[in-house]
Amino acid sequence: MSSSDRTRVLVVDDSALFRELVGDIIDATGEFTVVGQARTGFEAIRLVHQLDPDVVTLDLEMPELGGLDTLGYIMSEAPRPVVILSAHGGAGAPQTLRALEYGAVDFVLKPAAHADDATAGMRIRLLEALRAAREAKVANLPLRIPGPAGAPTPVVRPAAVRAGAHPVAVVIAASTGGPRALVDVVPRLPRGLNAAILVVQHMPPNFTGFFADRLAEVSALPVSEARAGEPVGPDRVYVAPGGFHMVVARSRDGLAIDLRKDPALHGVRPAADRTFMSVASHFGPRSIGVVLTGMGRDGAAGLRMIREVGGWTAAQDEASSVIYGMPRMAAPYADRVLSLDAIAPAIVDRLADSAAAGR
């Protein structure tokens, strides 16, 4: 690939050592090239206009102008794909998740140490994120300032559930662009659905709990990170913990969450296919599967299984997806391919029909 064909990247970080590390990783790929480096947010804004990079990698902690303010300016005044390079694990994770709501495509954790294995792991994730950023539709990631005031309102209250009606399970899978998409979908699901909602978002450990808390802030349904052994009940949202496959298993008291450390599937753990397949085996035609934006093929095989057992399936359409990878692979097994804003109403309509029929 000639240098003129490479994706042009602006690297923004207050650490000269880290700028050099990231720059070396990018330039060694042959598919990306560093066109500039910035130490502060103000310098980043100037270089975005001066160099017009295809992608920006952005640190969150910088002098003078912080990463979130810099990201807010870029997404409102000169939108382009931004990948966050974050040291924010643990208690700092909400700031990284807030960046995704501001419009960042993805985030990569900085290594806690400079050991070769830690740097190698960051290199793999950085290239994955840059490739996703190169394909991302920035128009589907406009600047959005997080807050309960701007949360979507529930669609409609579904029909009353008949006595003895069996509960339904809804599995929603997402990857790149998913945190934004899920904040559009989950808060629009009202109480009284008679459905357990299981969310599988590809995200590392120490982030999914904070993401569940964020969804809980803006949702009518209670949302929490799933815990091993807890019952699977209606009118609750369970978020798969990073680093574990989340499946439904039978216990002495009924159906419960089981968290497994089995090998990654499609290179990810949690993998939505594992959740889809367990739900299909226990809920049969009372299963609903939805695949949202993301890279890769996770969710396609599971969606096919839900359809084969008589459940209902949907995939996000290309026009509204940030990355049309997972939904593209799942679309052949989807009963409906829908825009993002149509997905929650379609789920509610399906659940209302099931509730009215007492299924």
**Model pLDDT, residue 352:** 85
**One-letter amino acid of 283:** F
Q: What is the pLDDT of residue 54?
A: 98
Where b means 16+ CB within 10 Å and e means fewer, 306-323 reads bbebebbbbbbbeebbbb
Choosing from 85, 120, 140, the residue where a domain stops is 140
Per-residue pLDDT at 354? 74
Say if residue 157 is in the same domain as residue 216: yes
- Tell me how far apart the alpha carbons of residues 124 and 106 are, in angstroms, rounded to a whole number: 14
CA separation, residue 36 to residues 5, 33, 206, 207, 268 (Å): 17, 9, 32, 30, 32
Is residue 122 located within the same domain as residue 177?
no
243: left (phi over 0), alpha (psi -120 to 50) or beta: left
The pTM assigned to this predicted structure is: 0.93
Q: Which residues are catalytic?
A: 175, 202, 298
pLDDT at 157: 56
Q: Where are the alpha helices (DSSP H) in 162-255?
A: 178-185, 208-218
**Facing residues of 37 across strands?**
11
The confidence score (pLDDT) of residue 121 equals 84
Say whether both 130 and 174 belong to one domain.
Answer: no
Both 96 and 224 in one domain: the answer is no
Q: Are residues 315 and 181 in the same domain?
A: yes
Residues 135 and 200 in one domain: no
pLDDT given at position 153: 72
Residues 62 and 163 in one domain: no
Task: Say yes or no: 162 and 248 in one domain.
Answer: yes
Q: Which residue shows structure tokens 């298993």?
A: 249
Q: What number of other Cβ atoms are within 10 A of residue 118's Cβ?
A: 14
pLDDT, residue 183, reads 94
**In this structure, are 167 and 203 located in the same domain?**
yes
List the chain residues with pLDDT less than 50: 163
pLDDT score recorded for residue 43: 97
**Count of structural domains, the chain:** 2
Q: Output the pLDDT for position 143.
A: 84
Give the residue from 116, 140, 164 where a domain finishes.
Answer: 140
135 and 156 share a domain?
A: no
Same domain membership, residue 306 and residue 253: yes
Q: What whole-number distance in Å separates Cα of residue 22 and Cα of residue 10?
A: 10
**What pLDDT digit, counting tens, does each position of 177-203 carry?**
999 999 999 999 999 889 999 999 999
pLDDT, residue 115, reads 60
Question: Considering 140, 170, 188, which residue would you say is the last residue of a domain?
Answer: 140
Q: Which CATH number is 241's domain given?
A: 3.40.50.180
Structural domain for 65, as ranges: 3-140
The answer to whether residues 126 and 154 belong to one domain is no
CATH code at 99? 3.40.50.2300
